[in-house]
Amino acid sequence: MTDAALRDADTEVRDGMRISWDVPVSMSDGTVLRADIFHPVDEGRYPVIMSYGCYAKGLSFQTAYKAQWDRMVQDFPEITEGTTNKYQCWEVADPERWVPDGYVVIRIDSRGAGRSQGVQNVWSMQEIWDYYECIEWAGEQPWSNGNVGLLGISYYGANQWLVASLQPPQLKAIIPWEGTSDWYREVFRHGGIRNGFLDLWLPKQLAMQHGYGERGARNPITGELVAGPETLTDDELEKNRVDKVAEVRAHPLLDDYYQGLAPDWSKVTVPVLSAANWGGQGLHLRGNIEGFTQAASESKWLEVHGLEHWTHFYTPYGVGLQKRFFDHFLRELDNGWDQQPKVTLQVRQIKPGDHGSIAGEFVERGEDAWPLDRTQWTRYHLHGHDHTMTLEKAGAPAQAEYDAAGPGVTFSSGIFDETMEITGPLAAKLFISSTTDDADLFLVLRVLDPIGREVVFRGAMDAHTPVAQGWLRASHRRVDPKRSTPYRPYHLHTVREPLEPNEVYEVDVEIWPTSVVVPAGYRIALTVRGKDYEYDGPTDGGDNAAHRYPSRGVGPFVHNDPIDRPTEVFGGAVRVHTGGEHESYLLLPVIPSQAR
């Protein structure tokens, strides 16, 4: 094949599939997107599984993300069984797992990415309207039975919520796997604090922008350039993409810019299987749980697992869930999916003796609702005088002060006499004061072994994640009373209300959900600090190789933008006030042992 120009699709039969490469899909404004389509060999009408996003559809998983691939198949060699793995791409379905079961698998490069023309504008409604047109196009093709399902991880999961809320008629079911559903609170800012993920992630996408051409990779199957065919200059590439970092910097509050990217949950009515990751602190957790709880669909399920955020998408466990769901809703098979528990949790376990970075053991359990109906909402009251937290109120007023540039202050429970499970959303009510007119609060729930060593887990994007994390900029403390609950405060982020230095303020901090069974002899701790959590254990070894970013505890979700966090404002001393009229506490979702 030559790469002189984009041309009409080439079709070939190989590895038990009829494959059409670079199929043109014209948008209403004349822009041409390109799709790779994997059909069953036999003619017929089949349900469609589609992914649409900015990662080039021809970029090999094994080549572009070799460290992640190697670790994944080392832990789960069964991923390589029953497939040639030639068509594995980053964060999308392996067609060899689906086509033999009577599905058409479609991968589409979004506007301005990979083989698709146009100006690239990631995380935009332009992409979502294009996605809508692609769904309708696929559902009307002669090889389609009119049932389109959406499947993919992260970027390929996040955009499903938005396009589902537009209600394309051909869309019949979605599986957003470890994505996001709130761009302000989960992607661009955490608790109002600017998240640096965008700055780290965007440069990596340049090699997948349409026009990167000869400087980029080639499709190992076709030999075509994955971001071609033409090779543009840096200036030309820059003109063909929207500067998303500049846009986000220009909108520090939750204004109309972000409201336009908010799904209308009342219109998300298709069947949903939402899959989240306990270790997805910073991106791949909250949005999937919020999507499950907020979507109007009468047919919706939640699954939460652990390990790296790409792993279980490809394991027999993950693919098995996906197939049973789509078989039921796209192929209309009576396979028992309607008896599936509404919530499936892989509950994290800690074995006595575990400390440091552990692989994480899990026990699968079905539940009827989220949060769990039998949750015992338990307050651990903070004590400023001795930095403890107990079930008893603090009593006499006290305070614990920390330097915002330092390690913060840690409040520890007593040693547990028996096992305790913590599963669900968390929150903290704090009374704080600052020597400046604002303060960024970073909250970390931790588990400590009998001699005080922290237990951490392999997370979605970091090898050393704590049990749970939460964030809040104190000047963003105003909450929406209609959408808030004691266990999930919902901050408006529409106005900045500075602090009066040294005055005490009540703040409610959302801590992202978690699940962990803490053994007897261990204890928990809440750290309140003025900067990102940092794992202080060793970071060498194989766990780090499985992640794309430094594994110091937060992965790419750093909050170190000097423009957003000037030292003169966020570098002061902060006090946590306890006792008396300032009863600061941590709210935990404790699951009674006799009912587990």
Task: Give the angle 191-192-196 at the CA atoms, nearest 5°.
Answer: 95
- Residue 276 CA to residue 289 CA, distance in Å, equals 7
DSSP E strands: which ranges in 259-306?
Answer: 272-277, 300-305
How far is 308 from 277, CA to CA, in rounded Å? 8
Amino acid letter, residue 393: K
Peptide bond into 229 cis (omega under 30): yes
Please state, in angstroms and rounded to a whole number, the distance separating the CA atoms of residues 140 and 161. Answer: 22
Strand partners, 46: 144
| Token pair in block for residue 567 | 């030292």
| SS3 category, 515 | strand
Distance between CA atoms of residues 372 and 356, nearest Å: 29
CA Rg, the chain, in Å?
24
Task: Report pLDDT for 42.
Answer: 96
The beta-carbon contacts of 72-76 under 8 Å, at least 24 apart in sequence, are 72/308, 72/310, 72/311, 72/314, 72/546, 75/307, 75/311, 76/311, 76/314, 76/315
What is the predicted pLDDT for the residue at 1? 30
Question: How many angstroms separate the CA atoms of 399 and 431, rounded?
Answer: 9
Which residue has tokens 């405060």? 489
pTM above 0.85, yes or no: yes
Tell me how crowded residue 368 is: count the other CB atoms within 10 A of its CB.
10
Alpha carbon distance 433, 218 (integer Å) = 56
Question: Cβ distance 487 to 510 under 8 Å?
Answer: no
- Please give the Cα distance from 184 to 262 (Å, whole number): 9
pLDDT of residue 358: 60
Torsion sign over Cα 178, 183, 185, 188: positive
- Which domains are present in the chain? 10-333 (3.40.50.1820), 376-595 (2.60.120.260)
Predicted confidence at residue 355, as pLDDT, reads: 59
Distance CA 314, CA 387 (A): 44
Q: Between β-strands 171-177 and 272-277, what pairing exists: parallel, antiparallel or unpaired? A: parallel
Q: In b/e form, how buried is each residue of 420-447, taking b as 16+ CB within 10 angstroms?
A: bbbbbbbbbbbbbbbbbbbbbbbbbbbb
For 335, the token pair is 């396979």
| Integer Cα distance of 122 and 110 in angstroms | 9
- Digit-by-digit pLDDT tens for the chain (596 residues) are 333 333 456 899 999 999 999 999 999 999 999 999 999 999 999 999 999 999 999 999 998 899 899 989 999 999 999 999 999 999 999 999 999 999 999 999 999 999 999 999 999 999 999 999 999 999 999 999 999 999 999 999 999 999 999 999 999 999 999 999 999 999 999 999 999 999 999 988 888 999 999 999 999 999 999 999 999 999 999 999 999 999 999 999 999 999 889 999 999 999 999 999 999 999 999 999 999 999 999 999 999 999 998 999 999 999 999 999 999 999 999 999 999 999 999 999 998 766 555 646 899 999 999 999 999 999 999 999 999 999 999 999 999 999 999 999 999 999 999 999 999 999 999 999 999 999 999 999 999 999 999 999 989 988 899 999 999 999 999 999 999 999 999 999 999 999 999 999 999 999 999 999 999 999 999 999 999 999 988 776 555 556 666 678 899 999 999 999 999 999 999 999 999 999 999 999 999 985 44
Q: Exposed, middle or buried, 246 (CB in 10 Å: 0-12/13-18/19+)?
A: exposed
